[in-house]
Amino acid sequence: MGRSLFLSLVAFSCFIGLLQGSPGDADPVYKACVEQCEKTGCVGSKCFQHCNFSSDGSPVDGPWYLQEPLYVQWKQWDCRSDCRYHCMLSREEERQKLGYKPVKYHGKWPFKRIYGIQEPVSVALSALNLAVQFHGWVSFFILVNYKLPFRPNKKAYYEYTGLWHIYAIFAMNSWFWSAVFHSRDVELTEKLDYSSAVALLGYSLFLAIVRTFSVRLEAARVMVAAPVFAFMTTHILYLNFYQFDYGLNMKVCVAMGIIQILLWAIWAGVTRHPSRWKLWVVVLGGALAMLLEIYDFPPYWGLVDAHALWHATTIPLTYLWWSFVRDDSEFRTSILIKKTK
Ligand SMILES: [Zn+2]
């Protein structure tokens, strides 16, 4: 379940950006501001150098090699992003004076940027999650390779060792792209973040099935892996190359997350595993954390919103999750050693 948590956590990262049109960007004052800014390059007294291109699309100044179409596109894109950001800030300031609550713009709450980072708190927490995953993985690695005894053929007794190593890679990859996406939200970073989250969810689903049903035979594992990975790959390809459908993606993520949670929850209920309480804590903690994702409130001080808090809750859960994995490896090893004696 822990994993499922994760998964669900991850699944919930799928929630970001669900809304493409939001009340904020439908506001006529905001719209007029962005339109004006894209023409003049200024919001009030603030002007942006990114908007310094002439109407035919070539830069006003700068060396010849910068006059590439791609560079111009980049510039126009940056200009729009700056305009939207500063129009949002000025509009939110006005609204606050009038006593209105914050509204979303283009699917996102009005966050204050720090050093150009869009959601600094979510970035910091994603980085921390990555660090905790790494710590969990290294401690597992050390336990299995240096502390626990080996089989006579020099392999670890624990049958799921390799699978957890791969899991760690998927998890760290997913948090890395989460940090990148929260720093700068563009199509590419969004696709990478969502795809990594789906890949992690799919892999964890496979792992949940294999572990809870104690699938040890290579051939049987392949039979579990084939349909799960085929589905996951198809979904990722669909999102990236056919249609980026937030609603569909959320359904897929939630479905994969719920199946894993149920698998772990039921298993934690029937097994006599000594560390099953850790699974319970992770499952319950994850379920509570999900509430944060559903109860979506605007950011405090323009920095901390529900999604950021949700990323905070996954940190202790991840720690406990890896602690369960370590316990599991010791538990299985002790059982297998007793059997061979
Ligand atoms: Zn996130």
Q: How far is the CA of 178 from the centre of ligand 1 (A)?
A: 6
239 alpha carbon – ligand 1 mean position (Å): 18
- 184 near 201, Cβ under 8 Å? no
Which of 311, 253, 259, 315 has its CA nearest to residue 282? 315
**Average pLDDT score over residue span 233-260:** 85
Ligand 1 centre to CA of 79 (Å) is: 25
Query: What's the 24 CA to ligand 1 centre distance in angstroms?
Result: 21
Per-residue pLDDT, averaged over 29-36, amounts to 83
Q: 2-20+115-340 maps to which CATH number?
A: 1.20.1070
In three-state form (DSSP H/G/I as H, E/B as E, the rest C), the secondary structure along 135-202 is HHHHHHHHHHHHHCCECCCCCECCCCHHHHHHHHHHHHHHHHHHHHHHHCCCHHHHHHHHHHHHHHHH
What would the mean pLDDT of 248-271 be, rounded to a whole number?
Answer: 87
What pLDDT does residue 40 have? 79
Can you tell me the mean pLDDT for 262-267? 90
| Residue with more model confidence, 7 or 48 | 48
Give the Å distance between the CA of 158 and the centre of ligand 1.
33
Judged against a pLDDT cut of 70, whether residue 223 lies above it is answered with yes
99 Cα to the center of ligand 1, angstroms: 29
Distance 72 CA to ligand 1 centre (A): 30
For residue 311, report the distance from its CA to the centre of ligand 1, in Å. Answer: 7
Task: Tell me, in angstroms, the distance from the centre of ligand 1 to residue 51's CA.
Answer: 30
What residue spans define the domains of the chain? 2-20+115-340, 23-97
Ligand 1 centroid to residue 226 C-alpha, Å: 29
Structure tokens at 108: 């996102």
What is the whole-number distance in angstroms between the Cα of residue 26 and the centre of ligand 1?
25
Q: What is the pLDDT of residues 284-334, one digit of tens each?
A: 888 787 777 777 777 778 788 888 888 899 999 999 999 999 999 999 888
Which pLDDT score is estimated for 64?
52
Measured in angstroms, how far is the CA atom of residue 307 from the centroid of ligand 1?
Answer: 6
CA of 37 to the centre of ligand 1 (A): 30
Cβ count within 10 A of residue 128: 17
- For residue 115, the CA-to-ligand 1 centroid distance in Å is 19
* 341 alpha carbon – ligand 1 mean position (Å): 49
Between residues 29 and 312, the one the model is more confident about: 312
**Residue range 56-63: mean pLDDT, rounded:** 51
CA of residue 223 to ligand 1 center, whole Å: 32
Mean pLDDT score, 247-271:
87
244 CA → ligand 1 middle, Å: 17
Average pLDDT over residues 257-269: 89
**306 CA to centre of ligand 1 in angstroms:** 10
Question: Torsion-angle region of residue 318: left (phi > 0), alpha (psi -120 to 50) or beta?
Answer: alpha
| Cα-to-centroid distance, 189 and ligand 1 (Å) | 12
The C-alpha atoms of residue 179 and residue 129 are separated, in whole angstroms, by: 10
Q: Band of the pLDDT at 66, cuts 50, 70, 90?
A: low
The pLDDT value recorded for residue 4 is 55
CA of 312 to the centre of ligand 1 (A): 10
Q: Looking at residue 138, what is its pLDDT?
A: 96
More confident residue, 188 or 340: 188
Asked if the model's pLDDT at residue 125 lies above 80, the reply is: yes
pLDDT band at 70 (very low <50, low <70, confident <90, very high): low
Of 26 and 233, the structure prediction assigns the larger pLDDT to: 233
- Are 181 and 136 in contact, with CB atoms under 8 Å apart? no
User: Does 208 have pLDDT greater than 70?
Assistant: yes
The Å distance, Cα 124 to ligand 1 centre, comes to: 11
Mean pLDDT of the chain: 81
* Spacing, Cα 121 to ligand 1 middle (Å): 10
pLDDT tens digit sequence for 132-159? 999 999 999 999 888 878 877 888 888 8
pLDDT for the residue numbered 18? 44
Instruction: Out of 42-56, 146-160, 214-228, give the one with best mean pLDDT.
Output: 214-228
Q: Which pLDDT belongs to residue 21?
A: 62
User: How many whole angstroms separate alpha carbon 204 and alpha carbon 213?
Assistant: 14
Read off the pLDDT of each residue in 78-95 and give the average, rounded to a whole number: 82
Ligand 1 centroid – CA 71 distance (Å): 29
- pLDDT for 179 beyond 70: yes
- Report how far ligand 1's centroid is from the alpha carbon of 11 (Å): 10
Query: Which stretch of 12-21, 275-284, 295-304 has the lowest confidence by average pLDDT?
Result: 12-21
Both structure tokens of 228: 């799960």
CA of 217 to the centre of ligand 1 (A): 36
Read off the tokens for 231: 């589905």
Q: What is the pLDDT of residues 103-118, one digit of tens each?
A: 888 777 787 787 777 8
- pLDDT at residue 55 in the model: 45
